[in-house]
């Protein structure tokens, strides 16, 4: 049995994913009922360990402070939203070096923090 994890994310990623799935269903991008099905599949991936969630603790809190300091002390500064900073802090606390992001601010911050970004 492999111990490899397919993806690592902050616990808040579950909340954001659920909201996104519901919004996409309401917009007609997803078929009726698809949001709950996709969310259930995500929860199953968490349960099987395919997706590992990083829980908030002292390590994430410490990294959060460092992420904010590094981003806001740059010239020009990188204005991070709270949840984006928590995602980055969680990734750092988990020892991750790669990050998937499409948001410009998140990508700018991740690049400044030394993450390898996807999509490239």
Distance CA 118, CA 24 (A): 23
Does residue 35 sit in the same domain as residue 64?
no
Inter-CA distances, 76 with 4, 46, 57, 67, Å = 38, 38, 30, 15
Judge if 14 and 44 occupy the same domain. Answer: yes
Domain count, the chain: 2
pLDDT at 4 over 60: no
Q: Are residues 49 and 65 in the same domain?
A: no
Residues 50 and 70 grouped into a single domain: no
For residue range 69-98, list pLDDT tens digits in order: 999 999 999 999 999 999 999 999 999 999
Tell me, yes or no, whether 1 lies in a domain: no
Give the pLDDT of residue 6: 83
pLDDT digits (tens, 9 = 90+) for 33-66: 999 999 999 999 999 999 999 999 999 999 999 9
**Mean per-residue pLDDT for 91-114?**
96
In this structure, the answer to whether residues 63 and 112 fall within a common structural domain is yes
Q: Do 68 and 35 fall into the same domain?
A: no
How much is the pLDDT for 1? 38
The whole domain housing 29 covers 7-54
98 near 119, Cβ under 8 Å? no
Please say if the pLDDT value at position 2 is more than 70: no
Please give the model's pTM, rounded to 2 decimal places.
Answer: 0.87
């Amino acid at each position: 049995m492999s111990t490899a994890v397919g993806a690592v994310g902050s616990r808040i990623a579950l909340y954001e994913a659920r909201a996104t799935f519901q919004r996409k269903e309401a917009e007609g991008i997803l078929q009726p009922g698809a949001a709950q099905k996709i969310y259930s599949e995500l929860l199953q991936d968490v349960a099987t360990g395919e997706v590992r969630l990083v829980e908030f603790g002292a390590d994430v809190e410490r990294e959060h402070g460092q992420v904010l300091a590094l981003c806001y002390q740059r010239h020009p500064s990188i204005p991070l939203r709270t949840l984006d900073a928590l995602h980055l802090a969680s990734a750092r606390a988990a020892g991750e070096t790669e990050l998937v992001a499409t948001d410009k601010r998140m990508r700018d911050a991740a690049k400044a923090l030394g993450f390898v970004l996807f999509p490239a």
